[in-house]
Amino acid sequence: MTSLDDVVRSTEHRLLRLALMLSGSRHNAEDLVQSVLARAHRQWERIGGLEHPEAYLRTMVVNEYLGWRRLLKNREVPLAEPIERPADFDLGARQAQRDATWRLLTRLPRKQRAVLVLRYYEDLADSDIAEILGVSPATVRSNAARALATLRDHLSAEEAN
Amino acid sequence: MPKLTDDELGDLLRDTFADHEHLADHPPEATKRHRIAPVLLAAAAVLAVLAGALYGVSRVGAADPAPPAATPTPTRTASDDALIWTASIETLLRSVKPGSGAWRSVIVVDQSDDGTNHFPKGPPISADQQEMMTYLMRRIAPLQFREKLSPAPPTCQDNRVGVVLISEMVDKGDHVEVRVNLFHDCNHGSNATYRVEHRGPSWVVTATVSSTSASW
């Protein structure tokens, strides 16, 4: 059986990055990963015997994020208003677009954001994402389509402004 | 402007995620928190004690983990960081007169992969941030970026060339602090730590926390 210490050492940073992409802030990410690791510790006899305990921890992080009511009610990152920039210079269109995208991600429903993170950050196939989220691949695709449509519309509106 | 396609949005999302990975690598100093593994060990110890204390006590369902203490949540973007560095560098450059005339060139050393020469590792400065800083500073000094301090920039051959190193930002909740080092004129050095605040559309230096200068 793999030891929890070994798995934590090898995956902690990766889990933290995944949690950051999901939650939008380092502090929330740390809280997410801590909660998951504390629960994993209690269940390690079972998890440690799995073929890929790292993948299981990743699924736990995603599910913790999706089920974290406290994060929504009390600890969600306050939505920053789009930062107004002086108009007399170009701030770098690509950078501005990425900043806007990061802000818009925080406004998506969490399942949609999770799908985008798993698809475009973790580079997982829709079938793998479906397994993690416990939904069908068709549901993954529809969540992704809705999320992309929202981003497309908002980015277009921001650029128009 | 035409709307982005799904593929273009996918590329944008990949870039956006990559752009923010550093947030997991470089926590703000003032809000740096415990590492997870030691906390896990501590949690294990607490759980062991609790398990003993609660042995035999029946419970209905499992309680949620106790909410961690609230901490300020930084929401700076990469553009914000570039604006903060620019404001800090500009303030120090304006306080130091180059050997003669205006700055001919100021070399900003990105020490994120270096951290040698007795200076702590600095923050990574992306190509887009460099582009932004260069544009914003164009009236003060032409900026150049390099990844290492050596070979020594030509501040002895040209007393209008400066070398700047910037520190990681220290997040203080309602403002940040940034330390800037400037070397110039062969054997002159100045450094300052600035308080930088978000004001209106941009960031401005509102106070000098500390400053020193030396010649050798």
Q: In a 10 Å sphere around its CB, with 0-12 CB exposed, 13-18 middle and 19+ buried, how is residue A97 labelled?
A: middle
Instruction: Return the number of CB contacts < 8 Å for A and B.
Output: 143
Q: Is residue B164 part of a domain?
A: yes
pLDDT for res A136: 95
Contact between chains at A83 and B80 (C-beta distance less than 8 A): yes
**Domains recognised in chain A with CATH numbers:** 1-77 (no CATH), 91-161 (1.10.10.10)
pLDDT tier, B14 (very low <50, low <70, confident <90, very high otherwise): very high
CA dihedral A143, A144, A145, A151 (to 10 degrees): 110
pLDDT for res B64: 32
Upstream peptide bond of B154 is cis (omega within 30 degrees of 0): no
B191-200 pLDDT tens trace: 888 888 887 6
B164-203 pLDDT tens trace: 988 888 888 888 999 888 888 777 788 888 888 887 667 8
Query: For residues B190 and B92, is the Cβ–Cβ distance under 8 A?
Result: yes
pLDDT for res B61: 32
Nearest to A78 by CA among B70, B94, B67: B70
- If you ran DSSP here, which 8-state letter would residue A106 be given? T
pLDDT tier, A150 (very low <50, low <70, confident <90, very high otherwise): very high
Q: Is residue B116 part of a domain?
A: yes
Q: Is residue B9 part of a domain?
A: no
B-chain residues near A11 (CB < 8 A):
none
pTM: 0.52
Contact status of B1 with chain A (Cβ, < 8 Å): yes
What is the percent of chain A where pLDDT is above 90?
A: 40
B-chain residues near A20 (CB < 8 A):
20-21, 23-24
Residue B29 has pLDDT above 90, yes or no: no
Residue A39 has pLDDT above 90, yes or no: no
ipTM of this model?
0.85
Q: Is residue B23 part of a domain?
A: no
Q: Is residue B133 part of a domain?
A: yes
Top-ranked range on mean pLDDT: pick from A86-90, A119-123, B49-53, B119-123: A119-123
Query: For residues A110 and A19, is the Cβ–Cβ distance under 8 A?
Result: no
CA dihedral A143, A148, A154, A160 (to 10 degrees): -160
- Number of domains observed in the structure of chain B: 1
Contact status of A117 with chain B (Cβ, < 8 Å): yes
What CATH number did the domain enclosing B166 receive? 3.10.450.630
Query: For residues A155 and A100, is the Cβ–Cβ distance under 8 A?
Result: yes
DSSP string across chain B: -PPPPHHHHHHHHHHHHHHHTHHHHS--GGG----HHHHHHHHHHHHHHHHHHTTT---SSPPPPPPPPP-------HHHHHHHHHHHHHHHHHHS--SSSS-SEEEEE-GGG---TT--------HHHHHHHHHHTTTT--EEEES-SPSPPSTTT-TTEEEEEEPPPEE-SSSEEEEEEEEETTTEEEEEEEEEEEETTEEEEEEEEEEEEEE-
pLDDT tier, B120 (very low <50, low <70, confident <90, very high otherwise): low
Contact between chains at A121 and B14 (C-beta distance less than 8 A): yes
Beta-carbon contacts of B106 under 8 Å, excluding residues fewer than 6 positions away, are: B89, B93, B137, B141, B142, B143, B144, B161, B162, B163, B164
pLDDT tier, B91 (very low <50, low <70, confident <90, very high otherwise): confident
Q: Is residue B153 part of a domain?
A: yes
Q: Is residue B4 part of a domain?
A: no
pLDDT for res A75: 36
Domain enclosing residue B209, as ranges: 78-215
Compare all CA atoms of chain B with the CA of A145 and give the residue at the minimum distance.
B6
Q: Is residue B59 part of a domain?
A: no
CA dihedral B106, B107, B108, B113 (to 10 degrees): 180
> What are the C-alpha distances in Å from A65 to residues A59, A140, B203?
10, 17, 32
A-chain residues near B80 (CB < 8 A):
83
In A27-46, the residues whose Cβ lies within 8 Å of chain B are 27-31, 33-35, 37-39, 41-42
B-chain residues near A75 (CB < 8 A):
67, 70
Contact between chains at A38 and B40 (C-beta distance less than 8 A): yes
pLDDT for res B207: 85
Select the more confidently predicted residue: B66 or A60.
A60
Q: Tell me the backbone φ, ψ of residue B208, rounded to 5 degrees.
A: -100, 115
